[in-house]
Amino acid sequence: MRQKLFKPYLVGCAAAAVAFQVITFLSSGFALDFRLAIFLILLLVNAHYQVISVENKSSFSITFPLVFPAIVFFGPAWASVIATFGPISLDELELEWPIIAFNRGSLGLAAGVSALAFQWAGGEAFLVRSLPAAVFAYSLINHGLFMVGDFLRSDQPSPDWSFLGNTLKTIVPSIALSALFLAAYARYDVLGLIGAFFIYVVVRSGALLGHLESNYRIALIRVLLRAAYAKDPTLMAHLENVAYYSKRLAKACNYPIWRLHILDEAAYFHDIGKLEIDDAILKKIGKLTPDEYSEMKSHPTRGVEFLQEVPLPRSYKGIVENITGCHHERYDGTGYPHGLKGIEIPLEARIVAVADTWDAMVGKRCYRKAMSVPEAIAELRRVKGTQLDPELVERFIEIVENDNQHKQPLHALNQSPLHVL
Binding site for Fe ion (CB under 5 A): 271
Q: At closest approach, how far in Å is the CB of 393 from Fe ion?
A: 18
Closest-by-Cβ residue to Fe ion is: 271
Q: At closest approach, how far in Å is the CB of 373 from Fe ion?
A: 22
Q: At closest approach, how far in Å is the CB of 59 from Fe ion?
A: 42
Nearer to Fe ion, 108 or 303 (CB): 303
Residue 66 in 3-state DSSP? helix
Q: At closest approach, how far in Å is the CB of 374 from Fe ion?
A: 25
Nearer to Fe ion, 87 or 303 (CB): 303
Nearer to Fe ion, 27 or 308 (CB): 308
> Distance (Å, rounded) from C-alpha 293 to C-alpha 71?
73
Overall size of the chain counted in residues = 421
CA angle 115, 120, 126 (to 5 degrees): 95
Nearer to Fe ion, 264 or 271 (CB): 271
Q: At closest approach, how far in Å is the CB of 352 from Fe ion?
A: 9
Nearer to Fe ion, 271 or 321 (CB): 271
Residues forming beta bridges with residue 71, ordered by sequence position: none
> Distance (Å, rounded) from C-alpha 81 to C-alpha 120?
20
> Distance (Å, rounded) from C-alpha 235 to C-alpha 202?
43
> Distance (Å, rounded) from C-alpha 45 to C-alpha 88?
6
Nearer to Fe ion, 302 or 395 (CB): 302
Please check whether residue 255 is in contact with residue 351, taking contact to mean a CB–CB distance below 8 angstroms: yes
Q: At closest approach, how far in Å is the CB of 58 from Fe ion?
A: 41
3-state helix, strand, coil in the chain (%, to 5): 75, 0, 25
β strands within 238-316, DSSP E: none
Closest by CA to 180, choosing from 168, 198, 206, is 198
Nearer to Fe ion, 265 or 271 (CB): 271
Residue 270 in 3-state DSSP? coil
Q: At closest approach, how far in Å is the CB of 271 from Fe ion?
A: 4
Q: How far is CA 235 from the centre of its chain?
A: 27
